[in-house]
Chains A and B, each alone.
Chain A
Amino acid sequence: MVSHEPNSRNLSERAISARGVVKAFGSGDARTLALKGADFEALEGELHLIVGPSGCGKTTLLSVLAGTLGCDAGQVEVLGSMLTALSSAEVTRFRCRHIGFIFQQFNLIPTLTLLENVSVPMLLQGAPRREAEARASERLGQVGLGGRERQRPTQLSGGQQQRVAIARALVHEPRLVICDEPTSALDSVTGHQIMDLLSGAARAPGRCVLIVTHDPRIYGYADRISEMEDGRVTAVHSGHALGAFIQAAQRS
């Protein structure tokens, strides 16, 4: 059995490494290549954006990197574990322990209270309910929703719901946080508040926050940006080049 424990020797170095990732949907004439040998890399301690036009394969790449979608070819190594070599059950356990998720549509369960929603990742790890709820309450306080534990998601605004989703994503201290368009359903001010929280989360030791977006308003939060086009990562911007890319993107 292949271990899915993160490799501690690579801390503060590479969090994700993907090589030659190919993913196709459909078959026969309807077969569509969403990823055509994509290479990708993200480091620990960074907030990394994946950007590109609609249909370029951003979400597919994110799904493959998160272990929620298998790939047809290529290698994906996350936190020192080769996801492509793990069984389905092992990948599920890996996600449970090491990955936090933030979805575009929040995906909070409407019939549960905020406290119960945020507790779920810890409960999935087998934590006792009391411990999970204590930690969830703490996390809700950190995202500015202390005292509202017993409310339900439908009683909150979109921005507040996304904060709950952030609390849920971080409650079990994951090393990798995967975010799919976290600000696209939010207004500008709320979007920046959410990004402040995610930016703070990325500063935790050994953690990587990976965001797929085509919202140029949040490019300024990135430590690095990978640009995709037609199923491949075509450019990676960091340092001075990142500033120039952001300015160009925001002008256009």
Chain B
Amino acid sequence: MDCMFLIALKMLLGDRPKYWMLVGGLAFSSLLMTQQYFVFQGLLSWTTSHMRNMRASIWVVESRVDQVNETKAMRDTDVNRVRSVDGVDFAVPLFQGVLKARTPDGADKMIQMIGLHSGTLYGRPARMLEGDIEQLRLPNSVVIDTLAAETNRLGAGMGRPLRVGDTFEINDREARVVGICQTERHFFGYPYVFASYDQALQYAPRQRKMLSMILAEPKPGLDTAEVARRISAATGLRAFTVPQFEKATLKWVWTNTGIPISFLTTIILGFVVGVAISGQTFYSFVLENLRNLGALKAMGAGNGLLAGMLLVQSLTVGLIGFGIGIGLTALFGLTVAKGGQPPFKLEVPFLFQAMGGVVLICALAALFGIRRVARLEPAIVFRG
């Protein structure tokens, strides 16, 4: 019977237009599903990049804040209230805000300003590429990320990326680059500019309350979640561990933005298009071969064997199409999305889920044909 599966494949491969249409449809479907999912995952990972860029153990925010990219200013005295909570090793203020920077050629660019506690620089970026983060304590000093340094960002007008020693303006104040760091892209796409907390307050337009967040560390040996809970209970502020804040942020994105539904719609459309194209093409392939299948049935091929042959045909084009689709997705990740825009985060488990989806598409496509063939009277071959 294995030989009949080989015959089935030859029947399919011999019909080049149908074969390529099936493979093309499934490749397109696989590409659409996986590329969109990985871009979606990349985008979701941007929403929580703040926490990976600043690596604090406990994030304390105003009681109405739901996610990390949102700020509602607190009173400066809140830092001391957090410090006084039992189990807190230390707590420092953090400023974060979107400001306007002026490039050397006079253009305005939006930046994500982060003001780190001047004494400890707690929350500093993990990876410095150039310069010295400690120099943030000098007046008018900033550390920028690689995105900020690009010629189409703050380097605009220089004809080259910004380097250590270059200057630009933030709110009419000079900002001198003392270091360049590597960060993960922020959700809003703005480049990161780090300054000391005091310096950041000078760059930002003055408001009554300027404290955006408080970063805290539990005493050694204490459970981070427990300390966060104590802070919330004692201060009335919201304190999150990193996993808690990530979860809250993702929940906020799911419930407050159209991003997930938009991507999920495209992913589902990819699946539906796959079913529609491959189902229709495969069914028309079966219809065109009905007399041949009827002849095989007359000659003694049972429904089970014919169903198996159709499944082999369908799954073969499915796996080839999936391979091509995944290849194109990988190519997209390695070329178009190489610079991080659009976001792209490959997740291996989804590859298997997508393969399952394609197998399901193929099974559905084969099912249409199998139903038709099961009802086929072998006597059809005697009707001229």
Contact = CB atoms under 8 A, between A and B. Distances in A.
Nearest to B302: A92
Interface residues of B, number: 31
Interface string B206-232: 000000000000000000000000000
A93 B298 CA distance: 10
Interface in B368-384: 377-379, 381-384
Interface string A62-82: 110010110000000000000
A143 interface: no
Contacts of A126: 1
B237 to A, nearest CB: 72
Given A68-B379, A69-B377, A107-B291, A116 B299 contact: no
A59 to B, nearest CB: 5
B377 A112 contact: no
A107 B291 CA distance: 7
A38 interface: no
A105 interface: yes
A96 B14 contact: no
Given A109-B11, A110-B14, A123-B4, A97 B377 contact: no
Interface residues of A, number: 35
Interface in B280-300: 289, 291-292, 294-300
B348 interface: no
Nearest to A123: B3
Given A92-B302, A120-B296, A124-B300, A105 B384 contact: yes
A92 B381 contact: no
A63 B299 CA distance: 12
What does DSSP make chain B's interface, helix, strand, loop or mixed?
A: helix
A129 B3 contact: yes
Interface string A108-140: 011110001001110111101100100000000
Interface in A76-109: 89, 92-93, 95-97, 99, 101, 103-105, 107, 109
Contacts of B1: 123, 126
A103 B384 CA distance: 9
B7 interface: yes
A116 B10 contact: yes
A69 B379 contact: yes
B300 A121 contact: yes
Contacts of A92: 297, 300-302
Contacts of B10: 111-112, 116
Contacts of B299: 95-96, 99, 101, 120-121, 124
A2 B301 CA distance: 20
A69 B291 CA distance: 15
Contact of B11 (A103, A105, A107, A111): A111
A180 interface: yes
Contact of A68 (B12, B15, B302, B382): B382
B13 interface: yes
Nearest to B291: A107
Contact of A112 (B11, B297, B378, B379): B11
Interface string B235-260: 00000000000000000000000000
B4 to A, nearest CB: 6
Given A104-B384, A112-B7, A112-B10, 7 more contacts: A101-B381, A107-B381, A111-B11, A111-B12, A111-B14, A116-B10, A128-B3
23 contacts: A62-B382, A66-B379, A68-B378, A69-B378, A89-B302, A92-B301, A99-B299, A101-B299, A103-B381, A105-B384, A109-B289, A109-B292, A111-B11, A111-B12, A111-B13, A112-B11, A112-B14, A123-B1, A123-B4, A124-B4, A124-B296, A132-B3, A180-B382
